[in-house]
Amino acid sequence: MPTFRQRLQYRLESFSVHDTIDPAATWHGQLGAFDARLHRHRLQAVIDSPIHEAALARQRLEAILRDWETVALLTDGHELRFVYEGVAVGEPNGQWADLDRTGAEPGVLPVVDAIVRRHRPDYPPPDPAFRISPMVLSMLREIEAFRADVPTLPLVAQRILGILADSFDGDGESLSHGDHLRGAAQRLSIDDEVVTQLAGLSARATEAATPPGQIRYRGAEWQWMQEALTRLTLQAGRAGQGAPGTRLSMDAFVARL
């Protein structure tokens, strides 16, 4: 069957004022069926497609790029965006002919004097196992709402646990919320201790008033809850094609209780 060689190009923009990735080492690898290279903030992805599938190449690649952006954000808060710049087609002589060029130039990013700045020698890597699913989108919306200072952290934690519980149908059996949550944790390769700990911490927000001289949450507990939101969302995304290859346990957390 005749094939159609395409090279799609994207510009990588970073919106994380605390992260400097200039100049990061060149990244080269596979993005699905695409042979990709990220160099000096330009991503070029090459694919040989059957003629009748050529028009789907950009759609398929951009789904992978959205996954990559999400993993970078959930892993360590690095906000990235891949912006389409154009596509070239391979010619018989081995050269490339531009088929579409947007001519877009990088936008002007705000200049912020960050107190803490991380100099990155490498680009945040993609996670081949991660896929954005409806469940992941629901969890991301909750995390985004918390970062916008809308609901409190314990309330968002409870909502994230509710999304996990709702994802487990129990084969039609009448199960309690806790059983649904444990069933979802088992399916997503999450240790029971992780969801039990998050449920216990988030429940404190609805308990009786804190006695004078005591605090409801220690700093480490607050940090752990924030980390749990992103780790649970990552684990849910890694279950898009079956059970995740890595189990989420308490040992995976940077924050310690």
Contacts of 21 (CB under 8 A, 6+ apart): 14, 41, 120, 123
Look at residue 22 in the predicted model and tell me its pLDDT. 75
pLDDT at 249: 96
Residue 104 one-letter amino acid? A
Average pLDDT over residues 29-46: 94
* Average pLDDT, integer, range 55-84: 92
Query: Which pairs from 110-113 meet CB under 8 Å and 24+ separation?
Result: 110/17, 112/17
Q: For the chain, which residues make up each domain, given as ranges?
A: 3-119, 134-252
Which pLDDT score, from 0 to 100, does residue 170 have?
A: 66
Q: Taking a C-beta distance cutoff of 8 angstroms, is the pair 217, 157 a contact?
A: no
> Within 10 Å of residue 149's Cβ, how many Cβ atoms?
7
Local confidence band at 62 (pLDDT 50, 70, 90 cut-offs)? very high
Tens digits of residue pLDDT in 65-76: 999 999 999 998
- As to burial, measured by CB atoms within 10 angstroms (0-12 exposed, 13-18 middle, 19+ buried), residue 20 is middle
Minimum mean pLDDT range among 27-31, 51-55, 217-221: 51-55
193: confidence class by pLDDT, cuts 50, 70, 90: very high
For 192-207, what is the mean pLDDT?
90
Q: Which phi-psi region, left, alpha or beta, contains residue 77 (left: φ > 0; alpha: ψ -120 to 50)?
A: left
In whole angstroms, give the CA distance from residue 85 to residue 94.
21
pLDDT value for 1: 58
Q: Quick one: which of 232, 231, 225, 183 has its CA closest to 204?
A: 225
Q: Does 211 have pLDDT greater than 50? A: yes
On average, the pLDDT of the chain sits at 85
Please report the pLDDT score of residue 101 as a whole number: 61
Name which residue leads in pLDDT, 244 or 143: 143
Task: For residue 172, name the pLDDT band (cuts at 50, 70, 90).
Answer: low
